[in-house]
């Protein structure tokens, strides 16, 4: 039986835009930000102009997201709680059960 050589794949380096996007996403998804429905994001010295501008453009295009530029260069994001009417439709079918009948 011949041994197959497997190439070790080098981990692919993230682009500055991807790194910043992941950082902002983590900040937005943090429990405190979710409960308060707002977060303030700061630009780091290591964030290139193109990456910051790219993320700001993506956020500006997001429906239901309010962006406020702060004097210190940070940006505060605010959003409303999603209602059931705004939630994506569920593809599952449900069967109605008559009163008194229990499937359990």
Question: By the 8 A CB rule, do 70 and 38 touch?
Answer: no
**Token pair in block for residue 103:** 């499937």
pLDDT-derived band at 104, boundaries 50, 70, 90: very low
pLDDT tens per residue across span 8-29: 677 789 999 999 999 999 999 9
Question: Mapping DSSP to helix (H, G, I), strand (E, B) and coil, where does residue 41 land?
Answer: strand
**Token pair in block for residue 19:** 């790194």
Identify the H or E element spanning 67. Answer: strand 65-69
For the entire predicted model, the pTM comes to 0.67
pLDDT tens per residue across span 34-83: 999 999 999 999 999 999 999 999 999 999 999 999 999 999 999 998 76
**Token pair in block for residue 102:** 């229990």
């Amino acid at each position: 039986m011949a041994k197959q050589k497997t190439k070790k794949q080098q981990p692919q380096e993230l682009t500055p835009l991807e790194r910043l996007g992941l950082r902002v996403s983590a900040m937005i998804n943090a429990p405190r930000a979710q409960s308060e429905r707002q977060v303030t994001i700061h630009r780091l010295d290591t964030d290139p102009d193109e990456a910051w501008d790219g993320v700001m453009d993506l956020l500006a295009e997001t429906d239901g997201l309010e962006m406020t530029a702060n004097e210190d260069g940070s940006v505060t994001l605010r959003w409303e709680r999603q209602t059931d009417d705004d939630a994506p439709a569920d593809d599952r079918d449900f069967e109605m059960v008559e009163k008194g009948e229990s499937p359990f």
